[in-house]
Amino acid sequence: MLKFKYFLVFGLIFIAHLVAGVFYSGYSWWLVAGGILLLLILLALACANIRWNFFIKATNRIPLSVQQLQSGAMPVALTFDDGPHEHTPAILDILAKYNVKATFFVIGKQIPGNEAILKRIAEEGHLIGNHSYSHTGSLYARSASAIRADIAQCNRLIYDVSQQEPKLFRPPFGVTNPALAKAVTQLDMSVVGWSVRSYDTMAKDEAKLLRKIMKGIRFNDIILLHDRCPITVAILPRLIEAIQEKGMQFALPEVPTRA
Ligand SMILES: [Zn+2]
């Protein structure tokens, strides 16, 4: 929330300065309108960029302890959004074959009818995170309490099926705003973003997608994938092998403990 508060204070001073300029220095009102527009554009960009940590602190890379750094550990986290889905079992088969653990950010409304898949995710040792119940853009027009109810509904469904109590939340589309930040804080959950966005939902070419993910991959990256995409199922074995060839290990995004 800190950056947002600074932004509010700075924004008010900035606009007050421009308004004073209209009266004392002959500034045009257009300049004031331009200033307000600039602040609104900045705010929209902040909502769209989870990695700015503007409204709430998100974990966008795996946090590493000094000991881990000294021991030369190079963990990478695979995360799969938008399931449970009919393609999820194929993802689970591949992960089991390579003995890799991953994190699944599931959508609440996807759970009814797919309970067996969610149960399997939990039973095979993967971590389940919350990706909201409704996964709709209109979530961001709702009050903090309405967003909290949506997230809590997804938590309840996850718990009923898997007995896992989700502590991690990934906002739909990676969008954050003050109401969402408040809801997540009240639920005592941690926001997890990513450092590598694959855009697998739009990808058509397997080799290109693989290259895009592997380009510039670094240790403690959190990779965003979608288990509902057939292309992700298709490239997953090659992706796992390419990451292992770099000497990296697969890990879960660690839950940061709150002080
Ligand atoms: Zn999603």
Hey, what are 193's tokens?
A: 């973003």
Q: What's the CATH architecture for 58-250?
A: Alpha-Beta Barrel (3.20)
| pLDDT tens track for 139-176 | 999 999 999 999 999 999 999 999 999 999 999 999 99
In 3-state terms, what secondary structure has residue 200?
Answer: coil
Distance 149 CA to ligand 1 centre (A): 18
Measured between alpha carbons, how far is 252 from 250 in angstroms, rounded to an integer?
7
- Average pLDDT across the chain, whole number: 94
For range 208-234, the mean pLDDT: 96
At 10, which helix (H) or strand (E)?
helix 2-24
| Structure-token match 């109810």, residue found | 149
Mean pLDDT of 200-229: 95
- State the pLDDT at residue 259: 44
Mean pLDDT of 204-224: 95
Q: What is the predicted pLDDT for the residue at 64?
A: 81
SS3 state at 62: coil
Interval 80-92 mean pLDDT: 97
Residue 81 annotated as catalytic:
yes
Among the listed residues 85, 87, 131, 226, the single catalytic one is 226
Cα 173 to ligand 1 centroid, rounded to whole Å: 6
Q: Quick check: 132 and 171 in contact, CB under 8 A? A: yes
Maximum alpha-carbon separation in the chain? 72
Is the pLDDT reported for residue 54 higher than 50? yes
Percent of the chain with pLDDT over 70: 97
Question: How many angstroms is it from 171 CA to the middle of ligand 1?
Answer: 8
State the catalytic residue, choosing from 81, 150, 200, 227.
Answer: 81
pLDDT mean over 71-87: 94
Q: What would the pLDDT profile of 1-48 be if each residue is shown by its tens digit?
A: 568 889 999 999 999 999 999 999 999 999 999 999 999 999 999 999
Q: Does 227 participate in catalysis according to the annotation?
A: no
Query: What would the DSSP string read from start to end of 63-124?
Result: ---HHHHHTT--EEEEEEES-S-TTHHHHHHHHHHTT---EEEE-GGG-TT-HHHHHHHHHT
d(CA 100, ligand 1 centre) in Å:
22
